[in-house]
Structure 1
Amino acid sequence: MTPPAPERPAPEPSPSASGRPATAASPPPAADVPYRLDGASGCPHAANARLRAGGAVARVVLPGGVDGALVLGHEALKDFLSHPDVAKDASHFAALHTGEIPEHWPLRAFATVRGMTTADGADHRRLRSLASRAFTPRRVADLRPRIEELTAQLLDGMERAAADGDGVVDLRRHLALPLPLSVICELLGVPEEGRARLHDLSNTIVSTDAAPEDTLAANREMLERLAEVVALRRERPGDDLTSALIAAREEDGDRLDEDELIGTLMLTVIAGHETTLNLIGNAVVALCGHPEQLALVRSGEADWGAVVEEVLRWDGPVSYFPFRYPARDLDVAGTVIPEGTPVLAGYSAAGRDPEAYGPDADRFDVTRAARHLSFGHGAHFCIGAPLARLETTIVLDRLFTRFPGLRLAVPEEELPRRSSFVGNGVCALPVRLG
């Protein structure tokens, strides 16, 4: 693992999402006092700056009083994500197996869902191999015309909605949400009438301040609805990911069992649209707040791909992702994380780590050669990354070309934030098209 971080000077005022100093920066918690994660927390960057001042790893208390850890530093997180003694299988989650975690714990599904995100070693390689065969680069590239078509239709709808709304339209509702939701549901072969409900269920699952009974009910209904999709595609196979996953086999005849198949679909639905939704919204906010950076794209000094990578670093779509577990007591950047501890990957914190990006890490700069961990690292690197990049690049290009005067309709600090420490984004994005 990385060596212990050097001592740091007292931190400057913590940055807001825009990079401007926040007005109410509290000191970092004492080393022996864990940071209590607020399920309704919004923008993570001020808290990240305070926590990083105490080191690359922070002790945290998860909802329900569960002890955990958060890896914040870029190099520490990169090493941790690929460390051979770090597991994803919840059999390593000590408190889960000693009866300390109740059935209705709101984060339980992140640990127990069957699929690639909770498998290790040969089991993970098997699941990923089967899923990857159905999620090939060619299949993603073939989606470009459809993504462009959907984007054009949604921009038409945005313009009509703005005309009916005194020039103001919610970009999240009319563009950032329906595009990735439509794409991922078409990819999975989900009937159109069931798509909006899948988003509602997904939103409840990743919203860390939802009531436990609501989270449990959402998980159950999501599994039931996806089981219906599987049954439909078994009866009527099509050119979709679900049909491909049902048919996919390894050379020895192995295939996804029912729980693995539905778990993989659940992961694909949630990760396939929630993260891209946040990425599109965060990119629009960043560009509206930094018109000089948008001007660099328009002048040809940067391209939309560079914008996407810098947004992924600077204000990525995921704050803290659950869970990984040390298979033994593990020294991470000078902090020992006990065996079996549930650990969150602090992607939003690592993206602004000054030790990785220098003293201007809080500055949004589309000319920066952005390297980041927002899609993970190592064996569990996100297989949907190419699709997210493709969708976001197309959307930003078409959006700002068609509406060059687009701007926020309210001050950035008034944008309502998602109630989640997993997803990082806004829950409404009012803009004027200009």
Structure 2
Amino acid sequence: MTVQPPAFVIDPTGADPDAENSALRAAGPVTRVDVLGVTAWSVTDPVLLQKMLTSPDVSKDARQHWPLFDEAVRTWPLALWVAVQNMFTAYGADHRRLRRLVAPAFSARRVAALKESIEQIVTRLLDDLEEGFEHGRKTESGSVAPGEPVDLREHFAYPLPIQVIGELMGVPEERREGFRRLVDGVFSTTLTAEESAANTAELYASFDRLVAAKRAEPGDDMTSLLIAAHDEEGDGSGLNEAEVRDTLLLMVSAGYETTVNLISNAIARLLTHPEQLAHIRAGRAGWDTVVEETLRVEPAVKHLPMRFAVRDIPLPDGRTIAAGDAILASYAAANRHPEWHGESADVFDVTRGSHEHLSFGHGVHFCLGAPLARMEGSIALSRFFERFPDAALAVPMDQLQRVPSLITNGHTRLPIRLKPVR
């Protein structure tokens, strides 16, 4: 009888992702891990991961393909990640049906039409930052004196995608902050199962109110589009009620937290690697390249739960991922794999020959919102460094605190000095 080695425990606080990713890669292309009490196979080899992400032998439908599903939805803090009914957890023909219905919301025409709006939002946010730097600003805990550092994550990286996704979905401005707090709870991996369930219930109640409002007064927004795709005829070709609100959840989650991390991670990297910023200013690389290299080195999502083996999957080393086993896509570790990007894979370099990454997924589940996120990131970064060319990180990089999550990859604050102090 073969004795399985103990599973590598994925840190729920995400305190040191670089060390964790290195340890996972050192353990081999695939290794058993513990994800908040659930045993899974972490895949860090990019070639093998891409193969699994496109294989019909791997599913995202926990209801069909995970024997532990019923127990997990009762006791696992990440139950929402496997229990939602939308493209994220669909498999086969069901996934194709859902993607076909949702894709029009992210058509090239709709995304391009958002460009001017994004530019206007960015300009307003930068105006507010400059005004606050010159004259001080009020915060919930008091006032900040002129010239003091500003938390760029809070005052720039957060409000941009919140306003963009709010506009895309038709969420009234007064409700957007409430969605932000609840989505933060979705990505948190330090909540108990009870706290997570309470957050989920409140989030669904918010979506139910939004759907009711859009049914009463439809608009040219994604929520109204999804409601129009509701399966009124009952033939299974449209969206059912659960799929409507779970698709809204997917759009808010994917379009908000990930873009926040992209923008703040890119700014932090450029401010701590001035030679890379110099490449941009000299025209040796573009802002689109900064976005791709940031996504490669600091992906917005480190690990994405969960996928499941539909049937036994033999591994190159002779082991087998058994049918029903959970599979964790460890994107952050795969993106920096030396066999993909050489010995400099850990280095942030906007001039490297290839910036390939898996940060938007791969295959049939590739992120529909990728063009929108890329556009937001490129506009935000170019305009910020144009407005504040002398911006500097106000604390050493190693003093930035990580968001407590094994999923999301970002910092809780990004204190920046926008201009030299006179």
How far apart, in 2, do the equivalents of 1:66 and 1:174 lie? Answer: 36
Q: Aligned residue for 1:15?
A: none
Comparing 71-80 and 406-415, the one that deviates more:
71-80
* Contact 1:43–1:425, Cα closer than 8 Å, also in 2: no
* Contact 2:261–2:410, Cα closer than 8 Å, also in 1: yes
1:44 has 2:44 as partner: no
* Distance change in 2, residues 1:383/1:332 (3 Å): farther
* Contact 1:410–1:430, Cα closer than 8 Å, also in 2: yes
Q: Of residues 278, 297, 305 in structure 2, which corresponds to 1:314?
A: 297
- Using the TM superposition, give the Cα deviation of residue 220 of structure 1 relative to its aligned residue in structure 2, in angstroms: 1.0
* Contact 2:163–2:176, Cα closer than 8 Å, also in 1: yes
Q: Of residues 303, 326, 336 in structure 2, which corresponds to 1:352?
A: 336
Report Cα offsets for 1:51-106 as digits up to 9, x if no partner.
2112111211121x221121111111111111110001112112224x4x361421
Q: Of residues 33, 40, 43 in structure 2, which corresponds to 1:68?
A: 40
Aligned identity (percent) is: 47
Q: Of residues 346, 353, 357 in structure 2, which corresponds to 1:372?
A: 357
Q: Of residues 346, 355, 361 in structure 1, which corresponds to 2:345?
A: 361
1:384 has 2:355 as partner: no
* Contact 1:37–1:61, Cα closer than 8 Å, also in 2: yes
Q: Aligned residue for 1:238?
A: 219
Q: How many residues were matched structurally?
A: 402
Report Cα offsets for 1:369-408 as digits up to 9, x if no partner.
2111110000000000000000000000000011001111
* Contact 1:134–1:248, Cα closer than 8 Å, also in 2: no
Q: Which residues of 2 match residues 173-192 of structure 1 at below 5 A? A: 173-192=154-173
TM-score (norm 2): 0.92
1:109 has 2:80 as partner: yes
Unaligned runs of 5+ in 1: 1-29
- Using the TM superposition, give the Cα deviation of residue 333 of structure 1 relative to its aligned residue in structure 2, in angstroms: 4.3
1:141 has 2:112 as partner: yes
* Distance change in 2, residues 1:193/1:332 (3 Å): farther
Report Cα offsets for 1:329-385 as digits up to 9, x if no partner.
212443422221221111111110001111110111101221111100000000000
Is the partner of 1:323 in helix, strand or coil?
A: strand
Over 6 Å off, 4+ runs: 249-253
Unaligned runs of 5+ in 2: 137-143
1:278 has 2:249 as partner: no
Q: Aligned residue for 2:380?
A: 395
* Distance change in 2, residues 1:174/1:266 (3 Å): same
- Using the TM superposition, give the Cα deviation of residue 160 of structure 1 relative to its aligned residue in structure 2, in angstroms: 2.7
- Using the TM superposition, give the Cα deviation of residue 31 of structure 1 relative to its aligned residue in structure 2, in angstroms: 7.6
Q: Of residues 342, 350, 353 in structure 1, which corresponds to 2:326?
A: 342
How far apart, in 2, do the equivalents of 1:206 and 1:121 lie? Answer: 26
Is the partner of 1:146 in helix, strand or coil?
A: helix
How far apart, in 2, do the equivalents of 1:111 and 1:84 lie? Answer: 18
Q: Aligned residue for 2:205?
A: 224
Report Cα offsets for 1:15-55 as digits up to 9, x if no partner.
xxxxxxxxxxxxxxx98121112211234111111121121
Q: Of residues 263, 277, 289 in structure 1, which corresponds to 2:246?
A: 263
How far apart, in 1, do the equivalents of 2:55 and 2:17 lie? Answer: 26
Is the partner of 2:368 in helix, strand or coil?
A: coil
* Contact 1:42–1:424, Cα closer than 8 Å, also in 2: no
